Amino acid sequence: MTLLTWLILVYLAVLLWFGIRGGSQDREIKNLLTAGGATGALLCALSLASTIIGGSATLGMGALTQRIGPAAFWWLGVGVIGLFLHGLLVAPAIRASGAVTLPDVIRKLVGVAAEKWAALIIAVSWVAVTAAQFTALHALLGSVTGGRAAEILYILLAAAIVLHTALGGQRGVIRTDAMQAVLLIGGFSAAALWCVWERPAEVAALPAIPFTEKFGLLDWTKMLLLVGITYVIGPDMFSRTFAARDGMTARRAAWIAAPLIAFFGVVVTMLALLNLDAKQPISDWLSASSPLPEVLAAMLALGLVSALSGSADTVLLSAAGIVEKDVLGRDRVRAVRLWTALFGTLAASCAWISGDIIGLLLTAYSLFVPGVAAPLLVLVVGRCRHADPKIWLAGAVLGGVGGLVGNLAGESLWTFAGMGVSTAAALWAVRVSSAGKSAEAPRAQTCARM
């Protein structure tokens, strides 16, 4: 076996040990999904970084660089902006709400019907997001090992990810995420430093401005609205905030993670630009013809495996917990573990169906952003606001339909129109709710005097 194969097998064993250890102690769904709400800022930040840096931020950004050049940085760059805003405006408010999932926040502010709507959309969308990570993992292993060995390693890794997520819960996920964040940042940094040392002229000649003729201000605005908002309002971001010790800890975690993401965005874009003529600009650094030394190639490969694994487990647990708690309205820890196993198996199977990582994610985002994220953002910016249930839900449904039509028709205008409709409806719903409470206050005072 090669050095990389041995490293992956060792990584697999460590992943299972860290992930499963202690997780079986959780007997309530709240603790299973939030790790008891006692995680420190640094551990939350590393977990956020590991979750964000997945298939789209590695292999997906490599392919994106071939299409739009250095502007591919903005796939993560808009996330840095979103994370900062999440810490500034959202994290303290939702941490104080006592909720444990994103739809749970909606239930507290809008009602049960809105909770069910959001939960169904997230369950479907986040299985697609998980599938994107498994698809990227399968593509990576096929690129660096190939043949039967790649298929065996993929099955073993996919099984390990699903198993440690199901058994370890959020405690296991956060522990393994921290380890994976160190491995992925270390591996990519080592490869980047080698490039700076060995190819200084090529590095110096790289474009410094992340905008091109193929990606201008309008394209950036679209990406900010469709992708950046998922960093402000997203089940995986919420899960880390709910796991944090308190609101200020959650804010610090987001602000620590943001520069890590920005640094990684620069590194992965640089590596892709230096290998632009390859079939896959990132994974081909690991090919037999790559000039990268064997040890550095193994470090980079382990970083890639860590990136894909760290994203899959967080999203998988979020989807499973939301189905059990918010769709079914139950509180069964064992059922969450079973849902995790089921969704994980389905998502892992998608690796043999679709290879379009960015496409899978955009499909998920086009439904989630206008149907859930945009109208929820109105409610939680700065503080949690209640909204009229009928108006808010009507706007969210119309927004989701717009996003779905836009995705099926391949026309983003429908998606952004959906965002506009759901946002406007949410603002109206908040105003109606506030007016209703103001009208009730005098009546309450009159009754008190009688």
Residue 167 lies in a domain: yes
CA distance 418 to 15: 41
- Residue 390, in any domain of the structure: no
Q: Model confidence over 232-260: pLDDT tens digits?
A: 998 889 999 999 999 999 999 999 999 99
Q: CA-to-CA distance for 23 and 198, rounded, in angstroms?
A: 45
Q: Give the pLDDT confidence score for residue 359 in this predicted structure.
A: 59
| Whether the Cβ atoms of residue 319 and residue 131 lie closer than 8 Å to each other | no
Whole-angstrom distance, CA of residue 396 vs CA of residue 376:
9
Token pair in block for residue 274: 């230096």
The Cα–Cα gap between 218 and 212 comes to: 12
Q: Which residue has the higher pLDDT, 232 or 17?
A: 232
| pLDDT score, position 449 | 35
| Range from 85-89, 138-142, 329-333 carrying the lowest mean pLDDT | 138-142
pLDDT tens figures, 73-117: 999 999 999 999 999 999 999 998 889 999 999 999 999 999 999
Can you tell me the mean pLDDT for 359-382?
A: 81
pLDDT at position 363 is 65
Residues in CB range of 409: below 8 A, 6 or more apart: none
| pLDDT over 90 (residue 136) | no
CA gap 113, 309 in Å, rounded: 34
108, 318, 322, 383 from 124: Cα distances, Å = 22, 11, 11, 28
Average pLDDT, the chain: 86
- By the 10 Å C-beta count (0-12 exposed, 13-18 middle, 19+ buried), 22 is classed as middle
If one counts every other C-beta atom within 10 angstroms of the C-beta of residue 334, the result is 11
Torsion of CA 167, 168, 169, 175, to 10 degrees: -160
For the chain, the domain total comes to 1
What sign for the dihedral angle of Cα 427, 81, 55, 308? negative
Instruction: Render pLDDT for 303-321 as a digit per residue (tens, 0 to 9).
Output: 888 888 888 888 889 899 9
Reply yes or no on whether the pLDDT at 450 is more than 50.
no
Is 61's pLDDT higher than 60? Answer: yes
Residue 359 and residue 376: Cα distance in Å, rounded?
Answer: 24
Is residue 450, in this structure, part of any structural domain at all?
Answer: no
Alpha-carbon dihedral 392, 396, 399, 400, rounded to 10 degrees? -170
With bands split at pLDDT 50, 70 and 90, how would you rate the model's confidence at 439?
A: low
| 422 within a domain of the structure (yes/no) | no
For residue 209, the one-letter residue type is: I
Residue 402 included in any domain: no
How far apart CA 421 and CA 261 sit, in angstroms, is 31
Is residue 12 one of the residues assigned to a domain? yes
pTM for the whole structure: 0.87
Q: What's the average model confidence in pLDDT over 2-11?
A: 78
- Give the whole-angstrom CA distance, residue 106 versus residue 371: 12
**Exposed/middle/buried for 335, CB within 10 Å: 0-12, 13-18, 19+?**
middle
pLDDT at 445: 41
Q: Is 172 inside a domain boundary?
A: yes
Per residue in 160-180, pLDDT (tens digit) is: 899 989 888 888 889 889 888
Res 447: pLDDT: 33
The CATH number assigned to the domain holding 213 equals: 1.20.1730.10
pLDDT one-digit tens code per residue, 21-59:
755 666 788 888 898 888 999 999 999 999 888 877 888
Interval 382-392 mean pLDDT: 91
User: Which domain, by its residues, includes 99?
Assistant: 3-368
Residue 383 CB neighbours (<10 A): 11
Residue 447 lies in a domain: no
